[in-house]
Each structure stands twice: as structure tokens, then as C-alpha cells.
A and B are shown apart, each in its own frame.
Chain A
Amino acid sequence: MNHSIRILAAAVVLAATAGSAFAQANVSVKDAWVRATVPQQKATGAFMQLQAAKDSKFVSASSPLTPTVEVHEMAMQGDVMRMRQVQSVELPAGKLVELKPGGYHLMLMNLKAQVKEGDTVPFTLVFEGKDGKRETVEIKAPVKALNNAAKPAHAGH
């Protein structure tokens, strides 16, 4: 209960932030962000909200930052956190699908340099419709502090 309220509040905060990149195509992408790293940290995650007008799926992402960008899903099995690469994420027509901590994320691996708060990371996202037609969406995601999850909903802090 508490948890879902926090997530909802976080989504509202994110929605209020400027810099959303809306594409005019089938799939819209908003509130994308990348978690900052410390020097020599080789991997981090990227998060965003996806919405498709027609039934589609999110199939891949790439970025000039690193050749290794994968779509992962985190799932808790009892007390154990498991992370797996997934081949695609279903985007039912009209449904907002969130890539957020506790679920799906883009995994950026083999990073060659520190990803610093305030930087912007370009991504090319590839979606596929039911007819097999592919669509690419270019976005630029801001880098947010490593501890970004720390203050999701508490306006007072």
C-alpha cells in the first residue's frame, strides 16, 4: 500500500519534470532517465515510460554510450532478487508501461567512462508492431543522481 503510493507519487513527480521527449509516432516515450555512476562503475540502469497507440512490443535499444544495452526484468522470488534479460516488452494499445526500479529497465553495461549527473544520454529505441513493422524512436535521457530513488515523493526533504 505504502509502496504503491510512493511509486504513484514518484510517477507524478517524474511527469512534472521538464525534458520529456514525445515522439509523434505510434509509440511515445517520456520521463526517461539514466542513473549516474561512480568512477570505474561498469554498469547502470535507464528507466522510462512507454505508451503505444497500437499493440506493439519494445524489442531493443542502443546508445553511443556503450555497445551493450539490454532490456532486463527484475523480479523478487521470495527474498531473492533475480535479474534476467528479456527479448521484448509487450506494449498493449493505450497502456502506459513503465520501465522503473522494481520491474523492467535498460541495462547499460561495459561502460567506458563515468556517467555523470546532468549529462544527457541519447538512445535509439526499436519497437515492433503486430504487422512486424519496425519503428525507431530517438530520445535523449538526462542522467540523475545515483541516489535518485532517495527522494521520490517527499516534497519536504
Chain B
Amino acid sequence: MHQGISRRRALVLTGAAIGLGLLAGCNVGGAVSFNGTDITGADFGRDFRLKDPSGRERTLADFKDKVVLLFFGFTQCPDVCPTALARAAEVKSLLGPDGDRLQVLFVSVDPERDTPEVLNAYTAAFDPTFLALYGDQQQLAETAKEFRVIYQKVPTGDSYTIDHTSVTYAFDTHGKLRLKLSHSQSAIEYAADVRKLLHAA
């Protein structure tokens, strides 16, 4: 009984939301607004050619029909990288059944220490479908340049850490770069954008 009421209310709310969405769409000529920065048509971040932990070479074409969230990081990073991966896992769960059409890609900026074994275990700790990508220093440099990402080794004691750009890029189901999302945005904001990209196709 109670459930019936709340379901009906949810339907009404959904209807209202769709109505508002249509109105908003009319007002701005069909354009969709995102939480991330809309960079549709960008002349960078077009593609990559990197290996996954099984050694298979990957490009964006491998993830056609999925929305791709791609960001750079390294496994020795105690703060931003696990936070970004944990958020990505939360985004996937917020998407519900649509989560199957999300591909999260984690590009290592530390090929020296991030061996395929470490990378595989690391991303799997957040979600088994998340994929780490890596290349040699040359391939990494080229990929970072293409994606306007900077990374810099910083010595600390007898080890080092790596400063790096922490944005997340979102690609639509046709493999086109669409959005740049910030580290300060929430899983809910990310999920809303991914959902729009999935359903705009």
C-alpha cells in the first residue's frame, strides 16, 4: 500500500521532471546542460593507444556503445586516485542497470612502478570492470599531451610521488570527447552527466 503510493508519487515526479526537461530543452534549442564542462568538438583527447594489464592494445574504438570515464593517476597515490576510483564505482552503482554501459579507464602516469599485476589488482579492488591502461614513457608522454594532462615526478626521501592533472574526461557512446569533470564534483553530479550521455544517443 505504502509502496504503491510512493511509486505513484515517483511516477508523477518523473513525469514532472521529463516535462521540465522538455521545456528547458525547448528554451535552449535542444541543448543539454551538464555538470561537467562541455568540451564537445575539442581538438584534443581524440584517442589513445595503450595496453591493458593483459597486454592487449586498446583504443577508444574498443569501448563503442559505452560512455567512457577516463582519468590519469598512479597506484602509490594515497588520496586523489583512490578517491576518484571510489567515486567512479559509486557512479556505476548510481546508474543501476545503465552501469553496464559505463567503462572506467585509469591511465597510469607511473609506468615505472605500476606493473600490469599491480594495476589489475588495484582497479579490481574498486570494480572488476574498471580497466587500467599503461604505456612506456614515450607513449605516456604522447597520451598526456593529447589529453592536455601534466604529470611530474617529485622526489620525496628516497622515493617519489607524482603531481598530475586530476580531471576526468567523459566520452559519449560514439567515442567522442564530450565533458571535462572536476575532482571536486560528486558521484551524483558525475552520474547525472553519464546518464544524459547514454540517453542522448
Interfacial residues, chain A to chain B (CB-CB below 8 A): 2-3, 6, 35-36, 38-45, 68, 70, 72, 74, 76, 79-85, 101-102, 105, 107, 109-110, 145-151, 154, 157
Contact = CB atoms under 8 A, between A and B. Distances in A.
Contacts, number: 120
A81 B77 CA distance: 10
B9 interface: no
Interface in B120-150: 121-122, 125-126, 150
Contact of B157 (A76, A109, A154): A109
A95 B18 CA distance: 48
Contacts of B117: 39-40
A105 B183 CA distance: 18
B76 A42 contact: yes
B11 to A, nearest CB: 21
A40 B115 contact: yes
A42 B80 CA distance: 17
Contact of B166 (A70, A76, A109, A154): A76
B47 interface: no
12 contacts: A2-B189, A3-B186, A41-B121, A41-B122, A79-B165, A81-B164, A81-B165, A83-B77, A149-B82, A149-B83, A149-B86, A154-B90
A38 B125 contact: yes
B118 A41 contact: yes
User: Chain B CB within 10 Å — which of A36, A40, A151 has the most?
Assistant: A40
A101 B75 contact: no
A109 B159 contact: yes
B163 A80 contact: yes
User: Chain B CB within 10 Å — which of A38, A105, A154 has the most?
Assistant: A38
Contact of B164 (A70, A80, A101): A80
A70 to B, nearest CB: 6
A43 B79 CA distance: 11
B184 A41 contact: no
User: Chain A CB within 10 Å — which of B82, B113, B186 has the most?
Assistant: B82
A41 to B, nearest CB: 5
B186 A102 contact: no
Contacts of A110: 158-159
A119 to B, nearest CB: 15
B89 interface: yes
Nearest to B163: A82
A110 B165 CA distance: 24
B54 interface: no
B27 interface: no
Interface string B64-108: 000000000001111110110111011001000000000000000
A35 B78 contact: yes
A85 B117 CA distance: 28
B198 interface: no
Given A38-B118, A38-B125, A150-B90, A85 B166 contact: no
A20 to B, nearest CB: 21
Nearest to B126: A147
